[in-house]
Amino acid sequence: MKRILRSIALTAMLFVWMPVQAQAAGFLVPVGEVIGLQLGSDTLTVVAYDDALGAAARDAGLKIGDELVKIGEKNIGGPEDIRSALQAQSSDVILTVRRGSKLSTLHMTPCQTEDGPRLGVYLRQGIAGIGTVTYYDPETGYFGTLGHGVNNSKGGLLNMTEGSVYTASVQSVKKGKSGEPGQLKGSADGSVPFGVLLRNTDRGVFGISTQGWQGQPVPVAEFEEVQTGPAIIRSTVSGGTPREYSVEILKIYPQSRQDARNFLLKVTDPQLLELTGGIVQGMSGSPILQNGKLIGAVTHVLVSDAATGYGIYIGNMLDAAA
């Protein structure tokens, strides 16, 4: 049975165009709250076989992770394209799929059901997850989150066609340890979005909120002001309320580095280490502050050391949003 998965039960990672570069970057609110992100795309990816109808897809060679490109001569951009393409075929169909960087063609006979022909697989369109809001500009409504991009199933940057933002809360924490990154597990608190996502980039995901976040705006630091030594991060690791935790900036890399790794940092806060083991998935985007200024966001954790990870310089996020 061909189905499209649209769940907003969230795991860690989430319109009208408006010019993001309109935001004022001198003072921003460091947020640290978890939000639900739903990113739509123009690709459909096979994520599972239907228990009853999946044999034909398996026999045809359709694999988990394949991206459905065409049925016959019809390009596939959504579920309606699949329905109309299958109904237009009398028996066998030719599927064009993207597997890695290569296109392949497969021949299969769709399953005939009371609801019409079906491929017998579950498909996913877009990605849903949670992330942490780095900053909010109360003058414009613009915000940034994650500090890195959301990737597709092939590891490349997801081509986001639309996106929505939902309130969310952390339900549980899988504690990180050496060799095994931890994870925040959360869920959306409502089905009505309170903002839209405008851009998915390799240095963050950016959007505009209709309700915003409370907080005192702080200055945005120049790169030369960032120092090794004590700093704090603002994160939500339980419920929906952010807290501040102590970290140490161990090393500063060049601002020109484009892989969202401008700082090497280590969690030193005993309470956060007890709760999470350090940096876990879902904390991406947690704002980093030093000497009263916003300097960046947490982006990655070291697999070999859950207490240690990387951060991106806030100026690089703002440049990506512009």
Give Rg (Cα) of the chain. 22
Give 19: exposed, middle or buried? Use CB within 10 Å, 0-12, 13-18, 19+. Answer: exposed
Burial letters for 137-157: b for 16+ Cβ neighbours within 10 Å, e otherwise? Answer: bbebbbbbbbbbbbebbeeee
Phi, psi (deg, nearest 5) at residue 163? -165, 150
Instruction: Please tell me the distance from the alpha carbon of residue 203 to that of residue 145, in angstroms, as a whole number.
Output: 9
Point out the residues that are catalytic.
Answer: 148, 269, 284
Amino acid letter, 307: A
Check if the beta carbon of residue 281 is closer than 8 Å to that of residue 174.
no
CB atoms under 10 Å from CB of 51, counted, come to 9
Phi, psi (deg, nearest 5) at residue 128? -125, 145
